[in-house]
């Protein structure tokens, strides 16, 4: 488990370097001045330490000026990390290192993380008595009836996407699990994936050269859980989610998205383009888990 996290961070850093190299190449193709500065940088290492430091900062200033001339931000040729606090190492502090907040969050998550379909969370094991009041119980029963109908008509339900959202601890993940478990009972191939695992598998795909994306986009039922709680890895997270939403949409495949974000927050978090695929009113039923009522997206807009 610990090793997994080290690999995860190493992959993140590798991604940052790869993105940086792509930007550098683009710059060098645009203006030979960039390549000249980079060559100068390469020769610095033969200088004595003090002079090297000075020369490096001069080169950096020249580079920033050059970037400015091309209307590019001055940090354009600096790596972009998923976590700027620890620069994707997982640790902060010098000389005493301690775990970065992003790492603590991951470790916590890792403990409860289970990408497989949980066999105990099924419609049969649903107990409405766990809800504290009558209104919540009624609401939960309604949601369950709807989700059960959805699951029983897979792989081609009437409305093929569900967007389950609301605060944590309202039973959204349970419902997603129950749908996947029922689908499997009916012989419909299903995958349950958290956004965190989605990130992780895409990053691993970079180092193994085996992309998980075809599986994410082609499995007959995908339950994508915990959207909005994962790290936003530059050029990875939002792009992967868009590819999943767009391609599943075009292939008319059933997808259950689960998130703590409402429609507006989803658009803000991943961009309008992605949100419009996930919340496409013609094919999506949005269900809020607020413990009080079952509302569709349409009703909410009124």
SS3 4: helix
Phi, psi of 162 (to 5 degrees): -120, 140
* CB nearer Zn ion, residue 17 or residue 210: 17
In whole angstroms, how close is the CB of 104 to Zn ion at the nearest point? Answer: 9
Cis? peptide before 155, omega within 30° of 0: yes
* CB nearer Zn ion, residue 100 or residue 164: 100
* CB nearer Zn ion, residue 102 or residue 219: 102
Where does the chain show beta strands of DSSP type E?
91-92, 98-99, 161-165, 190-194, 221-227, 254-259, 284-288
* CB nearer Zn ion, residue 47 or residue 85: 85
The residue ranges that bind Zn ion (CB under 5 A) are 83, 85-86, 100, 102
In whole angstroms, how close is the CB of 83 to Zn ion at the nearest point? Answer: 3
* CB nearer Zn ion, residue 29 or residue 104: 104
The DSSP bridge pattern shows strands 98-99 and 161-165 to be unpaired
* CB nearer Zn ion, residue 13 or residue 137: 13
In whole angstroms, how close is the CB of 199 to Zn ion at the nearest point? Answer: 14
In whole angstroms, how close is the CB of 102 to Zn ion at the nearest point? Answer: 3
Q: Are 206 and 15 in contact (CB under 8 A)?
A: yes
As given in the structure block, the two tokens for residue 135 are 């209104």
In whole angstroms, how close is the CB of 8 to Zn ion at the nearest point? Answer: 12
Distances (CA, A) of 301 to 207, 233, 251, 258, 264: 44, 32, 28, 20, 11
User: What angle is formed at CA 267 by the lines to CA 263 and CA 270, rounded to 5 degrees?
Assistant: 130
Instruction: Provide the sign of the torsion angle of the four alpha carbons 23, 27, 30, 36, taken in this order.
Output: negative
Question: How far apart are alpha carbons 225 and 115 in whole angstroms?
Answer: 9
In whole angstroms, how close is the CB of 2 to Zn ion at the nearest point? Answer: 16
């Amino acid at each position: 488990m610990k090793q997994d996290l080290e690999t995860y961070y190493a992959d993140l850093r590798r991604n940052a370097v790869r993105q940086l190299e792509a930007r550098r190449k683009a710059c060098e193709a645009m203006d030979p001045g960039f390549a000249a500065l980079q060559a100068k940088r390469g020769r610095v290492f033969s200088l004595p330490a003090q002079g090297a430091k000075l020369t490096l900062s001069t080169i950096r200033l020249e580079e920033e000026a050059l970037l400015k001339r091309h209307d590019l931000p001055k940090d354009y040729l600096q790596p972009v990390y998923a976590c700027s606090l620890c620069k994707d190492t997982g640790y902060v502090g010098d000389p005493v290192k301690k775990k970065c907040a992003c790492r603590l969050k991951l470790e916590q998550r890792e403990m409860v993380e289970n990408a497989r379909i949980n066999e105990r969370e099924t419609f049969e094991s649903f107990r409405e008595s766990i809800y504290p009041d009558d209104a919540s119980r009624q609401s939960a029963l309604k949601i369950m009836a709807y989700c059960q109908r959805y699951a029983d008509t897979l792989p081609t339900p009437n409305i093929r996407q569900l967007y389950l959202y609301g605060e944590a601890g309202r039973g959204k993940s349970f419902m997603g699990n129950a749908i996947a478990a029922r689908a499997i009972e009916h012989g419909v191939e299903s995958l349950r994936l958290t956004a965190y695992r989605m990130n992780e598998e895409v990053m691993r795909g970079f180092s193994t050269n085996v992309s998980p994306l075809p599986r994410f986009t082609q499995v007959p039922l995908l339950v994508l859980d915990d959207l909005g709680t994962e790290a936003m890895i530059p050029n990875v997270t939002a792009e992967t989610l868009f590819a999943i939403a767009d391609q599943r949409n075009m292939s008319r495949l059933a997808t259950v998205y689960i998130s703590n974000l409402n429609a507006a927050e989803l658009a803000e978090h991943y961009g309008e383009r992605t949100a419009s695929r996930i919340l496409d009113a013609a094919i999506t039923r949005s269900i809020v888990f607020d413990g009080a009522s079952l509302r569709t997206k349409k009703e909410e807009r009124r």
